[in-house]
Structure 1
């Protein structure tokens, strides 16, 4: 697991390729990340399925409730099949763009 912080955003990258253990580590580290927007970078793991992404939903809901952004980066998945409560994009650049837009919306009171 590789963690990079840039401003109010933390990018957590899966370096092991084992999604279950990665998700456990992220969940255990959650209190130290609470005050930041999160990008979960799974782009190097080609075995991520829709069922795997659904395991991230409770974590995503927790961040949305605390008015922080939670974006998952995954390539090669049917984005239309992803649950509405989960923000999934194909690149880290798009993840940063989404977080920037959500920050503006929160500042405007939406």
Structure 2
């Protein structure tokens, strides 16, 4: 797992070759990211199924309750199969756009 602290968020990228190894690394350190916005970039080299993305749903809900954002970047997954509570986008630029939109929503009290 590669952690890159940006100005407005923390970018976490996968350097593992399996989803299980990446999830173990991420969930082992998820508490370290409690107060920051998180963009999780999952490599397309990791063989992942739509159902496996739902494992990150609890993190998305928790981050929203804490007043921070959580976005997953991946081009393989079908985003229409997930609830709106989890943000999945195909590019890092779109993830940054989501972070900005959610910051605006929080400032407006939504």
Question: By the TM > 0.5 criterion, same fold?
Answer: yes
RMSD between aligned alpha carbons?
Answer: 1.3
Structure 1 residues 46, 28: closer, same or farther in 2, change over 3 A?
Answer: closer
Counterpart of 2:81 in structure 1 is 81
Q: CA deviation at 1:46?
A: 4.8
TM-score normalised by structure 2 residue count: 0.91
Distance 2:88 2:45 in 1: 14
Cα pair 1:43 1:91 within 8 Å, conserved = no
Cα pair 1:46 1:75 within 8 Å, conserved = no
Q: CA deviation at 1:20?
A: 1.3
**1:23 matched to 2:23:** yes
Counterpart of 2:93 in structure 1 is 93
Counterpart of 1:61 in structure 2 is 61
Unpaired runs of 5+ residues, structure 2, are none
Q: CA deviation at 1:83?
A: 2.6
Unpaired runs of 5+ residues, structure 1, are none
TM-score normalised by structure 1 residue count: 0.91
